[in-house]
Amino acid sequence: MSLFALAVSPLLCTLGVIQVIGIAAAASARLAEGTRYERGGQWLCLLSLVVVGGLCGWSLQFGPGSSAACAVTLTLMTLIAIVDFQ
């Protein structure tokens, strides 16, 4: 079986891209702390938390693997935004 024979669903790719954008939004909110972009970063993080949270519920119809991946992403986003290691 060649590598090109494997078909990946465009829907699952879209789910993955949205999750990566959510992680990036949480990281940007963390990096913007103390700058003039802090409020914008926080709103972007909040919006991405809402989108990924809704995606968790919507992806239940695609099986436990996709919904578990969304749940892990949501958890990581929350930890990135909240945990302070100082």
Let me know the angle formed at the C-alpha of 73 by 59 and 70, rounded to the nearest 5 degrees: 10
- pLDDT tier at 12, thresholds 50, 70, 90: confident
Inform me whether the pLDDT recorded for 18 exceeds 80.
Answer: yes
pLDDT of residue 26: 93
Cβ neighbours around 63 below 10 Å, total: 9
pTM for this entry: 0.83
Which residues of 21-76 form beta strands (DSSP E)?
none
pLDDT value of position 4: 58
pLDDT in tens, 21-78: 999 999 999 999 889 999 999 999 999 999 999 999 998 888 888 889 899 999 999 9
Predicted pLDDT of residue 46: 95
Strands in the chain per DSSP E? none
Residue 29's Cβ-count burial label (10 Å; 0-12, 13-18, 19+) is buried
Largest Cα–Cα separation, the chain = 53
Report residue 79's pLDDT band, with 50, 70 and 90 as the boundaries.
very high
User: d(Cα 34, Cα 21) in Å, to the nearest integer?
Assistant: 22
